[in-house]
Structure 1
Amino acid sequence: MINNHMLKRKLDWDYRQRCIYMTTVTVEKRRPLLGQLTGGLGNPTVELSDVGIMVAQCWQEIPTHVPGVSLLEWQVMPDHFHGIIFVQAPQEKPLGAIVGAFKAHSTSLYRAGARQEAHLWSPGYQDTILLHRGQLANMRAYIQDNPRRLAVKRAHPELFRIIRNISACGHIFAAIGNHFLLDAPVKRQVQISRSVPPDALAAAEADLLAAALHGAVLVSPCISPGEKQIARAALQAALPLIVILENGFPPLYKPPKSYFDACAAGRLLMLAPWPHHTDRRSLTREQCLALNRFATQIAQEDHTP
């Protein structure tokens, strides 16, 4: 089955123009054909198979076939591949043609070695357009960190497994992370108005972090800037946090950035009350009210022994 998020394209974007793209392709059925993870948590690395070496070589040959294109970062993982492409000069064909040629070439070589009409890649590919300051550095770091993230997931699989039927405050949520945080006897909601003055925000942050230091679990949908600031501070201070998200979790979802490490440490629970969607949406007032209502109800649930 084709994952919709692997085929999603930005409809109003000209993929022939000069830009930097992060691309991802996955092995058919996520089979670990490209290598194996070695070194454990101490020194994780991907030891490439013959197929993985061939895939890396095909990728590195792209600039020789496509003038005006350079490769900034890439990483072969056991069952998928990440690569950052810099389209330095406008192209006659879009990005999809470059990725498609790479997939076709590597598939042809794979079939020649396997001596059968075997599939190497899943249909489609995923791309992220890197337009904003800091995105390239963040994506480089993400790609370089992939082996460690895989090692962490394998060491703590229960914390990264999507559970679709967690019950809380009379509602069913999809969840990733430490669901035992729901059982904490003391939970504090983080709800900060967008119009709160700086001194009041600082006081609220100090109060909530102090409560978390003494065992409370913070609960928030992280909608307003103040709520996001306090959530970031809690994560940086290694304090427990329950986050309620508007969007659900697609298959093979991985928590982003600081959420990942907090999840691995058992300090984070991500809850999603509604199904996953692939389109960009702005939160409606009704959704904001609902998310805050969930946070209120979860914080008020009594789990005192």
Structure 2
Amino acid sequence: MGKSLWQWQKEGTSWRGIGIYHVTLTVPSRQPLLGRLVVTDSAPSKARVERTELGRLLLECQRSVPVFHPEIQILQYCLMPDHLHMVWYVRRPMEKSIRQVAQGFWQAVKKLGRAYSYIVEGESDACLTGGTMNERDGAVDACLTDGTMNERGGALRLSSIVEADSQKNSLCLAIGKERYCRLDPVFIERPFLRPLSRRGQLHAMIRYVQMNPQRLATKRMMPGFFCVQQGIELGERIYSGVGNVKLLSMEHFAAVHVRGMWVRAAERGDRQQLRNYMNGCVIEARKGCVMVSPFISPQEKQVMRVLLDEKHPFILLADNGFRNYYKPSDALFEACAEGRVLILSPWTYDADKRHVTREECVALNEMTAELVKLLNE
């Protein structure tokens, strides 16, 4: 993996100092190895994740982070079937950087992954009823216990092969380094680190982590509005989109584009033009007009919040494309589930993109005007 993956934090900030980080560890294959989503009474609000033994041991590994690094406090976590979200609070400067801590955590969970792969590899010729897995190796005891149910109805105990918080590697010693290194580590991608630096980000992130099971349940129960749809042709442009494409068939559309001159006038005390325009956008939405905008400026975001609060439909033009398993942000998620929003982007997904540029803002506003004209024809 390239070193650049660790380098995108803002220049001038320290990876060793006090800070809050959103850390995500993923099973790249997206297999539900860590747990199973359970939805009671078909109600997403009652969704929960039943942990597999691999998931349980992964959480034990996470709990060892503050033991080895007492500067770190785990504020929130959520285990999902194929990934783990964590919010880490670095309370005081560390000798090691947060990157090194994440690297150490990653090495520990890869050891768990190889132990899991060893068990799966041995299932084809292991007797699951006798209490010992892979007796041909003669060193690893995988006694059956109340762990994860496998396809044959048995249960395998990973903790008897490797301890999540142990520095030892008994499996490597037992089967030899060469064979050990050939085992799939499962967690082949480094944890993703995102520093939280803006006001309100921590509260929003904790809520996002807490709501993950509910979001996944909602997506599974309403897959149509959350699937990334490619090849949406509008005029001479081709968009990808998430949400309700039927909004494109509505009768009336209007753009939300707050002009800089109105904002500057408001800063000098003349707020009337800006107030009238923003109020006018809301009034049009109340009349049934679908508002279209990238909603970039603070004033445009205020209009979008009113549209969300009053449950009016709108189209959002995004400055980046959609990754696999994309989920709208907390504010947009409910509106997307209810079919009140369509998110469009003319660009492919760029994993390295962090901020919208001025050139992109101008382009998005031009696309908005172009799209509104096209849809109103």
Report sequence identity in percent. Answer: 31
For the pair shown, which has the larger CA radius of gyration, 1 or 2? Answer: 2
Match status 1:190 vs 2:256: yes
Go from structure 1 to structure 2 and tell me whether the alpha carbon gap of 1:48 and 1:201 turns closer, same or farther (over 3 Å shift): same
Which range moves more in the overlay, 254-263 or 127-136?
127-136
- Aligned with residue 191 of structure 2, among 88, 104, 125: 125
Report matched runs for 1:199-214 at 5 Å.
199-214=272-287
Aligned partner of 2:99 in structure 1 is 96
Report matched runs for 1:135-150 at 5 Å.
135-150=201-216
Aligned partner of 2:176 in structure 1 is none
CA shift for structure 1 position 151 = 0.9
CA shift for structure 1 position 5 = 10
CA shift for structure 1 position 281 = 4.3
- Aligned with residue 67 of structure 2, among 64, 68, 88: 64
How many angstroms apart in 2 are the aligned matches of 1:156 and 1:3? 37
Give SS of 2:284's match: helix
Match status 1:273 vs 2:346: yes
CA shift for structure 1 position 295 = 1.4
Report matched runs for 1:34-49 at 5 Å.
34-39=34-39, 40=42, 41-49=44-52
Which range moves more in the overlay, 18-27 or 128-137?
128-137
How many angstroms apart in 2 are the aligned matches of 1:4 and 1:215? 50
- Aligned with residue 171 of structure 1, among 230, 237, 253: 237
Which range moves more in the overlay, 288-297 or 165-174?
288-297
Gapped runs of 5+ residues in structure 2?
122-182
Partners of 2:254 and 2:290 within 8 A in 1: yes
How many angstroms apart in 2 are the aligned matches of 1:55 and 1:73? 15
Aligned partner of 1:222 in structure 2 is 295
Aligned partner of 1:51 in structure 2 is 54
How many angstroms apart in 2 are the aligned matches of 1:89 and 1:33? 35
How many angstroms apart in 1 are the aligned matches of 2:361 and 2:202? 31
Gapped runs of 5+ residues in structure 1?
none
Partners of 1:193 and 1:224 within 8 A in 2: no
Amino acid corresponding to residue 70 of structure 2 in structure 1: P
How many angstroms apart in 1 are the aligned matches of 2:113 and 2:361? 50
Partners of 2:240 and 2:321 within 8 A in 1: yes
Amino acid corresponding to residue 228 of structure 2 in structure 1: I
Give the TM-score normalised by structure 2: 0.73
- Aligned with residue 311 of structure 2, among 238, 246, 259: 238
Go from structure 1 to structure 2 and tell me whether the alpha carbon gap of 1:254 and 1:28 turns closer, same or farther (over 3 Å shift): same
Give SS of 1:84's match: strand
Match status 1:105 vs 2:105: no
RMSD of aligned Cα (Å): 2.5
Give the TM-score normalised by structure 1: 0.89
Amino acid corresponding to residue 130 of structure 1 in structure 2: L
Partners of 2:111 and 2:185 within 8 A in 1: no
Give SS of 1:118's match: coil
Partners of 2:253 and 2:375 within 8 A in 1: no
Go from structure 1 to structure 2 and tell me whether the alpha carbon gap of 1:92 and 1:148 turns closer, same or farther (over 3 Å shift): same
1:256-285 deviation per Cα after TM superposition (whole angstroms, max 9, x unaligned): 121111111111111112233323445335
Partners of 1:190 and 1:220 within 8 A in 2: yes
Go from structure 1 to structure 2 and tell me whether the alpha carbon gap of 1:237 and 1:4 turns closer, same or farther (over 3 Å shift): farther
Partners of 2:225 and 2:337 within 8 A in 1: yes
Aligned partner of 1:162 in structure 2 is 228
